[in-house]
Amino acid sequence: MKFSLEWLQYFLETGATVEEISAKLNAIGIEVEDIEDPAEKLEGFRVAEVLTAKPHPDADKLQVLTVNTGEGAPLQVVCGAPNAHAGMKGVLGVAGAIVPANGMKLRKSEIRGVESNGMMCSVRELELGEDHEGIIELPADAPVGTTFAEYHGASPVFDVAITPNRPDCMGVYGIARDLAAAGMGTLKPLREHDIEEVFPCPVEIRTDDPEGCPAFYGRVIRGVKNGPSPEWMQKRLTAAGQRPISALVDITNYMMLAFGRPAHAYDLAKLSGPVIARRAKDGEEVLALNEKTYKLDASMTVIADDAGVHDIAGIMGGEHSSVQDDTTDVLLEIAYFNPDSIGVTGRKLGLASDARTRFERGVDPAWLEEGLDGLTSLIQRICGGEASAMVRAGSPPSEPKVVQYDPALTTKLGGVSVDEAEQRRILAALDFAVSDDWKVTVPLRRHDVEGPADIVEEVVRIHGLDHVQSVALEGNLGVAAPTATPQQALERKVRRAAAGRGLNEAVTWSFLPLPEAEHFAALRQAQDEREALWVLDNPISEDMKAMRPSLIPGLLSAAKRNLDRGASSLRLFEIGRRYLRAKDGGSDEHPTLGVVLAGEKIQRGWASGKAVPFDAFDAKAEAMALLAEAGAPVDNLMVMGEAGSQFHPGQSATLRLGPKNVLARFGALHPATLDAFDVDGPVVAVEIFLDAIPGKKGKAGFARPHYAPPALQSVMRDFAFLVPTDLPAGDLLRAVKGADKANIVDARIFDLFEGQGVPEGKKSLAIEVTLQPGEKSYKDEEIKAISDKVVAAAAKLGGELRG
């Protein structure tokens, strides 16, 4: 909400500076978002007199003016305005000034060969209105040489944020009241309006919707003369961000911004029959003032006559009955609408307005007659006319809340001691009535005050929040006990590890289209049937009908979207829940880590040649690394098949602790899976079942011992074994590592060979074994003994040392 300092001072007698007022507004809970000084925008513009005006020698529509600026010799200015003439006074922008409307910096220049030393300005160029037909023509007594900002009376403009619980401050007068209560000046009394009611109101006014419109007051004014509103009103409206339109429209906007009380004026000639506040009929339409047509329903309150709807009550008037320049008779309407009803209607129509903002928060129900008289008085002062008697339909809420209050609560709840006399003064300044026994009667406009705590807030904010001392909360000494569960701690650790490995986290829906969910439904081991999915009875949409049995579908869809948009390489992961239906009909949530690698692992280049895609070994590497970070005993894991029908059978496997405990599955996705998701392959994926990772008793997972570097250097030995072709390399590696756990600390396969020199049905696997001595170095015979154990372990799997 915006308002000028001049407008505020119209209601508030104060000598405070802009900075002091701004600080006090912030202190009492009315946040100042910005302060704009129009004088800064008008710097370089001054009142000037046109001495002569001659046609331009080389342009039909231009004139060459001689302009007196009040300083030094007259200046020559080229001007294209049709109303420029000798003897007039206007506004000159000198060289160096910046035009507010377009940011153009004026400079001395030549226009068609004639020197020009500035620009005579129009209303629009100075952002003072919309008129652009000619340059500004000032009164004859305008002092030449005066800065235009000083002459125009440019006043600083405050832009404040009003919280939803303070509709009483949605007008300048309400803000002035708060400032006066806070000691920033004296609130000026409002003018009393003695309206002469010349004739009975010729229009029947009633409310047939007492729930949506409890009170509807009106009056006719005949014989008005519409036209431009006064300059003082236009200045205030412009400062508030409103575009002046005509006197009748501007007056209603002025009342709304000044007192937070929307009202409406109808062209009486465009109405037929009684004017009624009623519920709309389903399908009724109205063309609103924003030139859009809205379809209404029976839950919405409208203002209508025999011809139809004229107004979306409390939100926006209709185009059909709007006042125009030739309007002579008007019907004034001021009403109290139910805030809840206004909010529902506004949301349904997607229609926002200044009126809705105020009615939705709750206007003052006690200000109907006073508001209508004030509106009538302004119209008669500016537009003339005779007023009819006031018509009242219905009645607004009139029973004020009474709160039993204890002044000691300011210390107890607010943390600041305020003298009882000062509390009475503050409440009285805010129009609260306080009895001798501290029963506080709340003004009707203060819908937000419901109990003693709200009254404490009023007292403390006006007294000054800066008086509330900062007090540290009491807390227990020492380190706070951890609050994360072991599962949460595990997920956080794995999330950091995945991000550290260069994977990008994705968050996908927990719901899937039914076909995608069915494609990833797990196969039961005991029988060849799919797990029953959790299918929603009331899904958000058909694309979110089933709870996901796997994280891979969501990641695969995310990969497709990125690949379709030109991404060349994707490394995505997600930590979430899979939802499976147990055999007994119950539900199970399973914390899971999903990974999808798609596109190019290595881009094409002069060294690498063709691009290298991700393969199953990349998926296995991610699975092993992340399981290790999760604390799983990766050295004891078994690589087995049966990763699922969604994976390529020859390029996928599972990682297990024992034959039944599956910790993860990985590998290349099956071509049928990629076809189902319309993804160009290859794509590899990993799914780690975090709830399957066992933990030691009392621990969140397998605890790693603190690293202590060995004192002696390790010893490397290479072995090459001929093993059956169908023997998994992981089985041989595990056997070698277990041959002598006291000395063998690591082993890795570094070569696989099949071909000439290797018997049919065999393959050669080369293993590098790392031995770590303890307190003393190995002797030859000790190394030979360990080597014999390695050879013996391989022999149990059908392996023999290659010669």
CA neighbours closer than 13 Å in the CB half-sphere of residue 727: 23
SS (H, E, C) 111-139: ECCEEECEEECECCCCCCCCCCCCECCEC
Q: Which tokens go with 728?
A: 């998994």
CB proximity list for 638: less than 8 A, separation 6 or greater: 655, 656, 657, 658, 659, 730, 731, 734
Q: Does 458 show up as a binding residue in the annotation?
A: yes
Euclidean distance between CA atoms 277 and 427, whole angstroms: 36
Locus of tokens 């005050």: 449
* Amino acid at residue number 260: G
Task: Rounding to the nearest 10 degrees, give the CA dihedral for residues 343, 346, 352, 353.
Answer: -70
Sign of the Cα pseudo-torsion (793, 794, 798, 803, in order): negative
Q: Report helix angle 247-259 to 172-181, nearest 10.
A: 30
In the three-class reduction of DSSP (H, G, I as helix; E, B as strand; rest coil), residue 607 is classed as coil
Sign of the Cα pseudo-torsion (173, 174, 175, 178, in order): positive
Euclidean distance between CA atoms 303 and 463, whole angstroms: 44
Locus of tokens 């770590």: 772
Cis peptide before 759 (omega within 30 of 0): no
Distances (CA, A) of 643 to 207, 622, 655, 667, 689: 72, 16, 9, 8, 13
Helices (H), ranges, 505-641: 514-519, 552-564, 616-629
Cα-to-chain-centroid distance, residue 343: 20
Distances (CA, A) of 110 to 76, 107, 113, 523, 629: 11, 10, 5, 85, 75
Locus of tokens 């022999």: 795
Distances (CA, A) of 437 to 160, 324, 400, 406, 675: 37, 55, 18, 9, 80
β strands within 234-338, DSSP E: 264-267, 275-279, 285-287, 293-295, 301-305, 308-312, 316-317, 329-336
**CB-CB neighbours of 622 under 10 Å:** 26
Locus of tokens 């100042």: 32
Q: Which helix (H) or strand (E) holds 45?
A: strand 45-55
Q: Which helix (H) or strand (E) holds 597?
A: strand 587-602
Q: Which helix (H) or strand (E) holds 669?
A: strand 661-669
* Triad 643, 647, 653: Cα angle to 5°: 35
CA neighbours closer than 13 Å in the CB half-sphere of residue 612: 11
CB proximity list for 366: less than 8 A, separation 6 or greater: 396, 398, 443, 444, 445
Q: Does 386 show up as a binding residue in the annotation?
A: no
Euclidean distance between CA atoms 209 and 337, whole angstroms: 10
Locus of tokens 């209709």: 318
Distance between the two ends of the chain, CA-based, in angstroms?
90
Residue 24: closest CA among 176, 245, 164: 176
Sign of the Cα pseudo-torsion (136, 138, 140, 145, in order): negative
Euclidean distance between CA atoms 519 and 674, whole angstroms: 11
Euclidean distance between CA atoms 673 and 555, whole angstroms: 13
Annotated binding site for Mg(2+): 448, 454, 457-458
Annotated binding-site ranges: 448, 454, 457-458
